[in-house]
């Protein structure tokens, strides 16, 4: 959060007072710092370079797929990791070239495969035998050849929230690593696909290096076995998952992560692909919100804000903790304990309980920290609440990079049935 600081008693995003953005754009709104994203990219890519790794960073669009955010990272040299046809179109529209795109995900359709082949993407990460065979059929019908990685499931517990762990045997992702030799032999027999890589991704928000070490070590053994079997494995896709600090622990150091990579797979002579998302975008964003009411109940005080679970799903979906900051710098005055809640008609629309903040009143502004990843991309229109604005800040400038949705626009996409006219 180094780019969200108090200056003269008022919270700024880089050089812009957040109150100025609230006045111009309204609340709630997501606000992103371009400099924070660039700093995070520099730390991550720099650590890989310092470890003398042949590395390619492909930003995971699922974290935040706003075109302006993608463009910031593309300008720094990032490729893209996409998981849908829509994300593929976003990556291309933001200026990332097809060969710099990796297509991941467990349920690619034939139409998505065709679009990706037409875009000449660099790699498909295949997650099942049926997907492998369909990709072969699609590529062959297009007289094309595509490079693939088989995503293996190493049965390593990422020791993170169970809903964002992806590398255990019972998770839906990847192919059991013990079946990999047979699957690669099958892939080598199929037309249109060239199995030149191995992919692995064990989950998100990892703060301990040991799960990475365990998974990468298993992959290194597999690469040697595949080469012995005659497969030309030239590339390793090590996924993403590096965690950030949500206010509960020290974030991992990218240098430590790069050290684990070098220790486990650095001697294989492979090009390495990394797919960070949260690490690059999460701390670079805040959710700017206003207190609607303060409600004093018999057992507690509620701060009811204009942001809701449809704007930021993480607390309701993952029991995730986010820190709050008032726009006015707190003095040593009195603190009050609040449950901070939104206006949606669900008890789950609760952002925090028993949280100490300076005494609040209606009309005061707050930010919810570290919401640049898995915030706007997971938003919905629940309770017919329009999607909110997104704002990018750079130095003393800011720009709306997604307009606030209007309810009239939502209604215009719906029609009555013929018999209701």
Instruction: Give catalytic residue positions.
Output: 345
Nearest to 91 by CA among 73, 67, 56, 107: 67
Q: Which residue matches tokens 């309770």?
A: 383
Q: How far apart are the first and last CA of the chain?
A: 53
Q: Cβ distance 412 to 103 under 8 Å?
A: no
**What gap in Å lies between CA 366 and CA 375, rounded to an integer?**
16
Burial of 133 (0-12, 13-18, 19+ CB in 10 A): middle
- DSSP character string of 89-154: HHHHHTT--GGGEEE--S---HHHHHHHHHTT-SEEEE-SHHHHHHHHHHHHHTT--EEEEEEEE-
Q: What is the dihedral of CA 398, 402, 405, 411, to 10 degrees?
A: 160
Strands of 249-308, DSSP E? 271-274, 285-296, 301-305
**What gap in Å lies between CA 379 and CA 67, rounded to an integer?**
16
Burial of 397 (0-12, 13-18, 19+ CB in 10 A): exposed
């Amino acid at each position: 959060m180094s780019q969200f600081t108090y200056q003269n008693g008022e919270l700024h995003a880089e050089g812009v007072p957040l109150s100025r953005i609230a006045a111009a754009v309204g609340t709630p709104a997501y606000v992103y710092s371009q400099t924070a994203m660039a700093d995070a990219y520099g730390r991550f890519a720099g650590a890989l370079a310092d470890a003398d790794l042949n590395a390619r960073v492909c930003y995971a669009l699922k974290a935040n797929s706003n075109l302006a955010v993608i463009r910031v990272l593309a300008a720094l040299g990032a490729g893209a990791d996409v998981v849908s046809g829509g994300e593929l179109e976003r990556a291309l529209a933001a200026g990332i070239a097809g060969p710099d795109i990796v297509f991941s995900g467990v349920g690619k359709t034939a139409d998505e495969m065709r679009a990706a082949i037409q875009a000449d993407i660099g790699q498909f990460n295949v997650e099942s035998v049926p997907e492998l065979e369909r990709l072969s059929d699609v590529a062959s019908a297009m007289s094309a050849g595509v490079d693939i990685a088989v995503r293996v499931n190493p049965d390593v517990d990422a020791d993170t929230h169970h809903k964002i762990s992806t590398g255990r045997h019972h998770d839906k992702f990847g192919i059991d690593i013990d079946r990999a030799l047979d699957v690669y032999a099958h892939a080598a027999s199929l037309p249109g696909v060239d199995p030149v890589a191995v992919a692995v991704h064990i989950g998100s928000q990892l703060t301990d290096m040991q799960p990475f070490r365990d998974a990468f070590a298993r992959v290194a053994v597999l690469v040697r076995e595949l080469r012995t079997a005659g497969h030309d494995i030239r590339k390793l896709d090590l996924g993403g998952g590096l965690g950030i600090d949500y206010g509960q622990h020290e974030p991992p150091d990218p240098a430590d992560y790069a050290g684990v990579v070098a220790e486990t797979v650095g001697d294989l002579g492979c090009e390495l692909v990394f797919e960070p998302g949260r690490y690059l975008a999460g701390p670079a964003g805040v959710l700017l919100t206003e207190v609607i009411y303060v409600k004093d109940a018999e057992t507690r005080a509620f701060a009811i804000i204009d942001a809701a679970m449809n704007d930021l799903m993480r607390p309701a979906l993952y029991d995730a903790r986010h820190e709050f900051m008032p726009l006015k710098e707190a003095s040593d005055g009195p603190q009050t304990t609040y449950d901070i809640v939104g206006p949606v008609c669900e008890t789950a629309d609760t952002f925090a309980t028993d949280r100490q903040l300076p005494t609040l009143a209606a009309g005061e502004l707050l930010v919810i920290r570290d919401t640049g990843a898995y915030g706007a991309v997971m938003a919905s229109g629940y309770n017919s609440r329009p999607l909110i604005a997104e704002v990018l800040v750079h130095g003393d400038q800011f720009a709306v990079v997604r307009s606030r949705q209007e309810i009239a626009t939502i209604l215009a996409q719906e029609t009555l049935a013929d018999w209701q006219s």
